[in-house]
Each structure stands twice: as structure tokens, then as C-alpha cells.
Structure 1
């Protein structure tokens, strides 16, 4: 399964989080359910604009403040781009939706509200580029599996 709208949404959340130095779960909270649904529903339209412009529009519209969470600066190795991380979240959310039967918006909120954000956002580990099956299994277990 490959949901391009979800991929764009997750990549945009990652982009905004990096730009505003916010944890990704906080970005989801600040955007709110209605805006997230709108981005998801109209991702094919938003995708026609540069992601920087789309991000700036939502940062202003939702008044997303600057904070001090800078996982990019803390990275000692090559920083994955926001598209790569967007894909990690997309796959995890797809897997949760497939196994749970929950609504997409509920899966998005559940994943971004969970502990797994810190694991995915720690670019000094290899967690974010593990297989989708492994990441989903860790998510279900509530911890990084040995």
C-alpha cells in the first residue's frame, strides 16, 4: 500500500517540525484534526506548490511557534531528509490502519502521540531506517525490540 496523500502529510509535518524546532507530535496538536484532514484530503493540490511555501502557510495560519527541539543540529551523522522520515511515518500509519481498521485521522494522531516519535527522530541511531515490519512491531510492543 502506498498512500501519496499520507506521504505528503507526514513529510510536511516533518518539514514544519524541523523549521519550527518542534517535536512532531506537537506539530500534529498545533495543526489540529481539521487542518490535518484538509492537508490529507487536498495533498494532491498542496503538492503542486513548493513544500516551503505550504509549510509557511500552515505555520502562519495555525500560529505554530518556534521552540528549541533541534534533532537535526544534534545529529552526528548524515541527516535523513524530510521525505525519508515522512515515508517512515507513512508506512507505520498505513500498517496501523490496516491492522486496526481505525480511521486514518485516528491512526495519524495515535502514531504522532506515541513514544515512537523520539525513536524515529533520533537520527544518531539506526531506528528510522529499519524495516517497516520491525518499526511496526516496536510500535505495537511499546518499545524498541531487541
Structure 2
């Protein structure tokens, strides 16, 4: 299951909303919940027809997503990766740990965002987020950034 466009869109939308609401992605995924994430994943091809900012605003408004204090974009000392880039990092990791098990893709997504690796990916002052997908996957499996 490589290049899952619905997963890519779902992860990119989570990143976009997280930046808009200044929330850790793990907190945002908890607020969105499995039902909403499943809806985003299932209808990604429909949501993708609208500008991502509008889709994000609809979810922010309808779910009353609060504003937090986590602003990793403001604290970035270097070039900020766009939300599509970070969405792709998550997509690849979730694909790699899921293999061909598409039935549990939303559960894997929630596991990844709830894990330590979400903070590592969100730290744009390191080079972690642009490491190879194999390296990021191995770090996830090891439960730490590998030397």
C-alpha cells in the first residue's frame, strides 16, 4: 500500500489544522477522534476538491477545535517545511508500519500521532523530518531516534 493519496491528504490536513490552531498533532488527533479521522480518510478525494484552508476551517468550526500554544512554525529557525511535506512524512511512516493492512490504517495513524515520533517530526529545527523513510520507520520501531 504505497502512495496512499487518501492517507497523504488526511495527514496533510491534520498538519494544516495543527498549525492553524497551534496544537500538538497528538492533541489534535485526540480531539478529532477516530470517527472524524475515518471520515477524512474515506472522503479525502471529495475534500481534496476544495482548498485545504476551507476544509480545515470547516472542521475547526464544526468541531470547535480550540487554539493551543504549540507554535512550531514560529519557533523554526530555518525554512519551514510546508504541510504537504510533513503530511508525506506521516503518510510514508504509516504506510511502512501498516504494510498491506489497509483495514487498520486509521488505527495506525492514531498510534503514530500519539507516539513520541510526532514531536520529533514536528521539531523543524532538526533534520529528523527529512530523513529517509526507512530511517524514520526504524526509529519508530526502536522507540527512539537511532544513532
Query: Is 1:124 aligned to 2:121, yes or no?
Result: no
Query: Gaps (5+ residues) in structure 2?
Result: none
Using the alignment, how far apart are the partners of 2:71 and 2:133 within structure 1? 25
> Cα distance, 1:99 vs. partner?
7.7
Distance in structure 2 (CA, Å) of the matches to 1:4 and 1:102: 15
Aligned to 1:58: 59
What is the root-mean-square deviation in Å for CA atoms of aligned residues?
A: 1.3
CA displacement, residues 30-65 of structure 1 (integer Å, 9 cap, x when unaligned): 111111000100000000000000000001111110
TM-score (norm 2): 0.96
List runs of 5+ in structure 1 lacking aligned partners: none
SS of residue paired to 2:107: helix
Divergent runs of 4+, >2 A:
99-102
Summarize the Cα distance change of 1:102–1:111 in structure 2 as closer, same or farther, 3 Å threshold.
farther
1:131 and 1:23 map into 2 onto residues whose CA distance is: 23
Q: Could you give the per-residue CA deviations for residues 56-98 of structure 1, whole angstroms, max 9, x where no partner exists?
A: 0001111110011000000000000000000000000001111
Task: Please tell me whether the aligned partners of residues 34 and 107 of structure 2 are also in contact (alpha carbons under 8 angstroms).
Answer: no
Aligned length: 146
Shift of 1:105: 1.3
TM-score by length of 1: 0.97
The alpha-carbon deviation at position 102 of structure 1 amounts to 6.8
